[in-house]
């Protein structure tokens, strides 16, 4: 058994930070994941971010929540991930 779950975690972290990151599928590595958000009607500050591979149909999702406003002490440095 391969450790796909570890790769999904890394991909999920990158996509949670920026949904425009071009991430390869952690299962087949043959295609870039399609990413889309679905709002929660009862809680508008929350949504789900879906990730699906168009090549092998692998799927995963993240529950997202609007972050608290950043202050200088809580801002994170820019990621080194390649963005398109």
Q: Is the pLDDT of residue 5 over 70?
A: yes
Please report the pLDDT score of residue 69 as a whole number: 56
Across the range 25-29, mean pLDDT stands at 94
**CATH, domain range 4-65:** 2.20.25
Q: What is the 3-state secondary structure (H, E, C) of the chain?
A: CCCHHHHHHHHHHHHHHCCCECCECCCCCCCECEEEEEECCCCCCEEEEEEECCCCCCEEEEEEECCCCCCCCCCCCCCCCCEC
Span 30-82, pLDDT tens digits: 999 999 999 888 888 888 989 999 999 999 998 888 765 555 544 444 443 44
Please report the pLDDT score of residue 52 as a whole number: 96
> Domain map of the chain by residue range?
4-65
Of the pLDDT bands very low, low, confident and very high (cuts 50, 70, 90), residue 84 is very low
Please report the pLDDT score of residue 68 as a whole number: 57
């Amino acid at each position: 058994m391969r450790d796909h779950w570890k790769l999904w975690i890394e991909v999920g972290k990158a996509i949670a930070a920026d949904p425009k990151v071009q991430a390869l599928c952690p299962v087949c590595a043959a295609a870039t994941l399609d990413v889309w958000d679905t709002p929660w009607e009862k809680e508008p500050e929350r949504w789900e971010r879906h990730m699906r591979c168009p090549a092998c149909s692998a799927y995963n999702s993240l529950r997202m929540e609007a972050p608290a406003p950043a202050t200088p002490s809580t801002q994170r440095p820019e990621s080194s991930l390649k963005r398109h």
